[in-house]
Structure 1
Amino acid sequence: METRRLRLLVELSRLGSMRAVADAVGTTTSTVSQQLAVLAREMGTALIEPDGRRVRLTPAGRRLTEHAVTILAAVETARLDLAPGAEPNGTLRVAGFASAVRAHLLPIVTDLSAGHPRLRVLVREHEPAEALHLLATDEADLALTYDYNLAPADPDPAVHTITLWTAPWGLGVPAPADVPEAADALEVFARFRTHDWIVNSRNTADERVIRTLASMAGFTPRVTHQADSLDLVQGMITAGLGVGLLPVGAPTVPEVRLLPLTGPRVVMRAYAVARHGRLAWPPLTLVTGLLARRTADAAPDAPAPPP
């Protein structure tokens, strides 16, 4: 059932003649008659009947007109609600990694509760692969993800990606480790070739970085421990279980020394990802814009937020 046919029926009820309806909607009397005939076939009942040289609605036509008024009003409400520039309202589902949610999304959600009370943000903490899966299956509207310059994510033509910020990462090692401050990334890695290595338990990007740099330094790393929490990574390093990547600028415990990695650098890149065709939805437009503005205020290569 097409709403344009319902609109013709409503106009016929209001104006009383095919010609008047045709003039009102800018078409021909023949087109109006044909479209109403199609609507009658779709409904399986007569909607109009002759009334001298004019026509009038049958009881079924009048009843359908009552429904049509409600349906058309709902369609118009939906159009206005979803139109670009409309007041954002509804539920926006966001899936993202913990530090991005904590440092950037939650402050925005707090502000939105006052400025846009009709907008609700649902938050789910997920690593990039998990968040992108939720986006692909339409269980999330926005994904906050990351990759590394040495382990870039595979491009996906089905989504639109906005870079939010970048942050340098270094290698977390036991504080007593004897490593010159000027050592480059390959020298740093080579000095820990006999150590165990700690990687993320829910994402493979940092392991790919470690294996890439270790290969360039001439060895295969012994990856033995996994942890999702960066706090736990520091705890493992403190306990002597190994070494692992940590964000530069994040607070470290006294027992952990953070060595910068240069030549090559290790840079994490954070993104806001949405499906094409959804970006004009006002809640999504608002939140992605706020995220972009918030992170643009930080200097390039700003320290990553704490885990």
Structure 2
Amino acid sequence: MDVRRLRMLLELSRLGSMREVAEELGTTTSAVSQQIAALSRETDTVLIEPHGRRVRLTPAGRRLAHHAVTILAAVEAARLDLDPGAEPAGTVRVAGFATAVRRSLLPVTANLATDHPQVRLRIREHEPAEALALLAADEIDLALTYDYNLAPATADQTLETRPLWSVPWSLAVPRTASVPHGDAPEVLAAFRDRDWIVNSRSSADEQVVGILASMAGFHPRITHHVDSLELVQDLITAGLGIGLLPAHQPVLPDIRLLPLTGPRVELRSYAVVRQGHKLWPPVALVLDLLATHATSSGREAGRKQEK
């Protein structure tokens, strides 16, 4: 099979239209169509089918595109081995939660623009379950996800996961509230009669609240479901409930953050790819940059805490 045709098929699976593939590879839509047709004849398999005014990959086409990732990664690795100075090139599709996009991905975009201009990013904001579904459907190449230490994500053997960073979370309450002393269950017990605010697009923090409340001997009254951390603060300020927020996040003047210990509550972030896909040089580069930035940010945070 012609490697160039495999690249076009893979890009079609990533980008969704022959026009975008042509723009990505610097050729014409007609040339892309002809090469995909030649690959179909070469494999004696129907690889694409009409879909409205566009085309989409058939199940066989998607399977071949999946194999193409490994094949092209091996070819690219051989090229880099023979020419270590060669630059990775390609578009990496990323989906992640907003905090990770701001904290991890945006610094990487600056690095790519300066040092690796042939690697481009396409960014989508999604909660972990949404991002992992897109990863499984091969609609993205990299997912930025999170879980909590008290509600760990289920391991998936088809995925490769790289830890990035973790942050402690606190209980956010009105500043006028009485401040209880003790470990996390005792702190939550003092607010057993309050309404609770949890995430509308993920059940992870609701699981954590439920675990801590059960340790304190009550069932939390989940009343509000919102996605924005800023909106959580607004609801707390309005007296509509309490919820969890990052421990070091600036908060509104009318909010107090209560530390949670025994057990400690931590949000843990990850970079996730499908098995074998980290061999593709553009993905490998982005993963390495994410890990490097996470390490340097962690050291900087540690120095600030020591001061």
- The answer (yes or no) to whether the contact 1:144–1:271 under 8 Å persists in 2 is yes
Q: How many residues align?
A: 232
* Residue 289, structure 1, aligned to residue 303, structure 2: no
Q: CA RMSD, aligned part only?
A: 2.4
Q: For 1:134-193, what per-residue CA distance to the aligned partner results, in whole angstroms no more than 9, with x for missing partners?
A: 11000010000000011110110000000001110010000011114x421011100100
Q: Retained in 1: the 8 A contact 2:170–2:258? A: yes
Question: Which digits, 9 at most, give the CA deviation of each residue in 1:207-260, with x for residues without a partner?
Answer: 000001001100000001011110000000000010000001110111000001
2:75 corresponds to which of 74, 79, 84? 79
**Correspondence for 2:27:** none
Higher helix share: 2
**In the alignment, residue 230 of structure 1 is paired with which amino acid?**
L
The structure-2 alpha-carbon separation of the partners of 1:141 and 1:178, relative to structure 1 and needing over 3 Å to count, comes to same
1:270 and 2:269 correspond: yes
The residue number in structure 2 matching 1:52 is: none
Gaps (5+ residues) in structure 1? 4-41, 43-74
Pairing 1:117–2:113 present:
no
Q: Report the alpha carbon displacement of residue 298 of structure 1 after superposing the two structures with TM.
A: 2.9
Whether 2:278 is the aligned partner of 1:279: answer yes
Q: Is the 8 A contact 2:94 2:140 kept in 1?
A: yes
Contact 2:172–2:242 under 8 Å retained in 1: yes
Report the secondary structure of 1:150's partner residue. coil
Pairing 1:153-172 to 2, within 5 Å after superposition? 153-172=153-172
**C-alpha separation in 2, matches of 1:234 and 1:76:** 47
Q: Contact 2:148–2:204 at 8 Å: present in 1 too?
A: yes
How far did residue 82 of structure 1 move?
7.7
SS at match of 1:252: coil
**Cross-structure match for 1:222:** 221
SS in 2 for 1:298: helix
Equivalents in 1 of 2:216, 2:73: separation in Å?
Answer: 62
Tell me the distance in 1 between the aligned counterparts of 2:209 and 2:73.
Answer: 53
Mapped partners of 1:175, 1:282: distance in 2: 50
TM-score (norm: length of structure 2): 0.71
Alpha-carbon offset, residue 114 of structure 1: 2.0
Task: Give the share of equivalent positions with the same residue, in percent.
Answer: 58
Q: 1:116 to 1:300 in 2, by over 3 A?
A: closer
Question: Structure 1 residue 141 and structure 2 residue 141: aligned?
Answer: yes
Equivalent residues in 2 for 1:96-107 (5 A)? 96-107=96-107
Aligned to 1:6: none
- Alpha-carbon contact 2:198-2:205 (below 8 Å) kept: yes
Q: Which residue of 2 aligns with 1:20?
A: none
Larger radius of gyration: 1
| Residues 77 and 172 of structure 1: CA distance in aligned 2, closer, same or farther (over 3 Å) | closer
Paired residue type of 1:105: L
Amino acid at match of 1:204: S
Q: Secondary structure at the match of 1:223?
A: strand
Which segments of 5 or more consecutive residues in structure 2 lack a partner in the other structure? 4-41, 43-70, 303-307
For residue 210 of structure 1, what is the aligned residue in structure 2?
209
